[in-house]
Amino acid sequence: MRKYVFDFEEGDPNNKKLLGGKGAGLSLMARAGLPVPPGFTITTDACREFFSPRKKEVDELVKQLEKNPPPAVRDELIRKLWSIIDTLSLPAGLMDEVRDRMKALEEKRGRKFGDRKNPLLVSVRSGAPVSMPGMMDTILNLGLNDETVVGLAHQTSDERFAFDSYRRFLSLYGKIVLGIDDKKFDEAMEKIKEKYGAKSDVELSVEALKELVESYKTIINKEAGGFPQDPWMQLESAIKAVFRSWMNPRAIYYRIANKITPEVAGCTAVTVQSMVFGNMGMDSGTGVVFSRNVANGENEIYGEFLPNAQGEDVVAGIRTPLHISDLKERFPRLYEDLYKNLKMLERINKDVQDVEFTVERGKLFFLQTRDAKMTPIARVKTAVDMAREGILTEEEAVLKVKPEVVLQLLYPRIDEAKAPKPIAKGLAASPGAVNGEVVFHPDDAVEKAKQGKSVILVRTETKPDDVHGFYAAVGILTSRGGMTSHAAVVARGIGKPAVVGAESIKVDYDRKLFEVNGIVVKEGDVITIDGNSGNVYLGAVPTLRPTVGGELSTLLEWADKFRRLGVRANADLPQDAKIAREYGAEGIGLLRIERMFRKPERLEVLRKVILAESSDERRKAMEELANMIKGDFKEIFEIMDGLPVIVRLIDPPLHEFLPKPEEILKEIYEAKIAGASKDKLDELEKLYKRVSALTEANPMMGHRGVRVGVTYPEVYIGLTKAILSAAAELKLQGKNPIVEIMIPQVAIPEEIRFVKEKAILPTAEEVEKSYGIKLNYKIGTMMETVRACLVADEIAKHAEFFSFGTNDLTQATFSFSRDDVENKFLPKYLELEILKVNPFEVIDKAGVGELVRIGTERGKKTRNDLEVGICGEHGGDPESIEFFHQAGLDYVSASPYRILVARLAAAHAAIKERKAKGS
């Protein structure tokens, strides 16, 4: 018979997949001898078995929820899902195991579950294999009823504490198990506080708490038909509720957003743990602490402590907690124990630890440890520092930082020289400076984001149910809560700038506005928040682009040691090349020259080239254009001095540079009305006929790329002359330009041979002779047609390098027009899972990827020194980069702002391959 339940001491700390992160962490701490309240873990196997009878129906409803439907539809789907789950029963034999473990727990604690005089109370908590902070449910103080609450008061000699615990249990049980809207409990609390003149719950007297308990029971009677007094019934229903929380909308949304697949985390475990109480007075409390600062990465204990409270009070942000240093002042010896054990856990787990703890009448207890969610800055700094301290190897440090994290390090910061006075200040919970329109409800954030608007979600405090709004917003602002509140933890985890605990802000949800120091900010108004300083500004404040340095430079230097793939940049302008070089690009993998033609005087000359009716006319216009653009090449080659620059010869369909026929017709009409001369009208008529003749039914598959070079060799002659003349002039100045000329849209080997012999090589000889020097250049092709990949062995006879243009190759392979499919049917394909991912974002390994693999293998078989790279957008996608590493490419080329991502992703790919071979 399958075993579903493990005591903390017998569970395997390394088996998170079975015990969940929380259960594994508790087993680790219990085995290490830390003061952990005793308990047991119900495995993820039990959770999967719980859902199995109606798995197909549940999965179908979850798929629909994953599409993020409108609120009304979402609510109906949730109702259906809940009604199905309510029919499910716990796996056979599970409660028998639970009862056996509860007996052992009674013996360990010297208390009895459900006893009137000496009751044992437990917490029931979720724990997925992958950390999902705040996404699932927890129930505290389970086992209380009208009789055991009296026993608890007698047991602790503290009636106030007993009824405070009871009201907490009633509200959690009502909300989580019975599905009652927590607003009803909040409203009852506010009424009691108002009646007794209390500002916070800790000021409520025992009489007030007893009255509150009765109010809560009335709510439960009205909404759910009554509260179960039987503790065993409470426990069974709580376990079911925690299993059910695996399928709540916020947990589903979190798994989608963080790409947590069923293979990684298929269900949640449940921990049942003996209660320890932080709400027994001012010598008690609860807290969350990190072994290092999760905001900036400094090696200092970081966290918060709330006296006379239970754990949910801290993470919910209902009361603003004290800094952890206050714990040091109150309980210095306890603080030292906490610090010592934190650092021990950090060394064991080889990562910064996020620890929940409770102090009960001066005694410390550990309730949870897990790897901390932290800001990108902290993630990088802690990885590097821990390697320097010997906790991690350099390889392990590199693997600790996900490639996407470095993108978030490039968040802008406030330009202090142009910043106005802030209207408010809170806690800098997650870095980055962003501006956006104010919204007050997470659903509104989602809707406005769909409209393409940048929004900042403003809340008094956030709750787990707000998580969809977090992902839609560019930043989060709350008026309550601390650095370990829900808002702070989730914002750091997903890399969104956040300011929390800005207490001067008064939020009015009904009127959709907030007031601060006499200033009224309404929904739709623009504000700027600075997650680096905690400042809040009215309006959009100018920002600055950060530079790369410090620990990030060190980490990337380590990454560069481990990676095999080179990393180059795609560029249009000199500014792109400057950024690319600053970010560590090893060259330009794709220089698009089309932007050079966009200046009006250049565009006019290019149009002469396109519209020319003779070779001589075209050559003269091309010589003029070459002189115009030579300086652009020279500037970029100089920026990238000593590094290769691949220049793609003209690629787009020629019609893109011409006026549209309908525009010319309009001009003719207007010229006639204006009484234009016959010569002017004849000129326009001639232009209209020429442009109409050049119009193509399918220009993206027509007269473009190498086909222009074959039919109009003068174009390639002029471009080659501009490129190589720029290189020659720099070489004469003592520079070292390394030029690679790339021919696009090749499908037939003879196309390359023709343009090399008729245009590129003769021009190169002419330039070398003119300047009296020998140039360092290569000639290669952009592999972006299916046929080119299949005949790569023949093409390699004429090409010194291949660069896969995976954007066009994806279009050709799927027969998709990207602009059309992304606006029309691709979203539906993704929704129906006909396609799992957008093939223009992540390489299609089975189709496009196979062509890349074939092209690479066949090309290198012909020419073993063939240089092979990729210059499509996939060059900046970590998953695609791993594939290109496996396919044997020599480099990837990405947009300048993804260079850092590519460097790190290439290192990850190499390290993973090495580890796999080693195992």
Q: Which residues participate in catalysis according to the annotation?
A: 486, 871
Lookup result for tokens 């409470």: 234
Q: For residue 735, give the nearest of 635, 596, 646 by alpha carbon.
A: 635
Amino acid at position 559, single letter: A
Strand 427-430 vs strand 498-500: parallel, antiparallel, or unpaired? antiparallel
Q: What one-character DSSP code corresponds to residue 583?
A: T
φ/ψ of 527, rounded to 5, equals -130, 165
Task: Tally the residues of the chain.
Answer: 919
CA distance 848 to 813: 6
* CB contact at 8 A, 674 and 770: no
CA distances from 599 to 627, 629, 638 (A): 14, 10, 22
Q: What one-character DSSP code corresponds to residue 591?
A: E
Strand 777-783 vs strand 543-544: parallel, antiparallel, or unpaired? unpaired
H-state helical runs in 285-402: 311-316, 324-330, 332-349, 376-388, 394-400
* CB contact at 8 A, 400 and 381: no
Using alpha carbons only, what angle is made at residue 482 by residues 434 and 21, rounded to the nearest 5 degrees? Answer: 95
- Positive or negative, the Cα torsion across 263, 264, 265, 271? positive
Amino acid at position 224, single letter: A
Q: How are the residues of the chain apportioned to helix, strand and coil, as percentages rounded to the nearest 5?
A: 50, 15, 30
**How many of the other CB atoms lie within 10 Å of CB of 686?**
12
List all residues 6 or more positions away from 39 whose beta carbon is below 8 Å from its beta carbon.
7, 8, 26, 105, 122, 271, 272, 273, 274
* CB contact at 8 A, 409 and 430: no
List all residues 6 or more positions away from 873 whose beta carbon is below 8 Å from its beta carbon.
806, 807, 840, 841, 894, 895
* CB contact at 8 A, 549 and 380: no
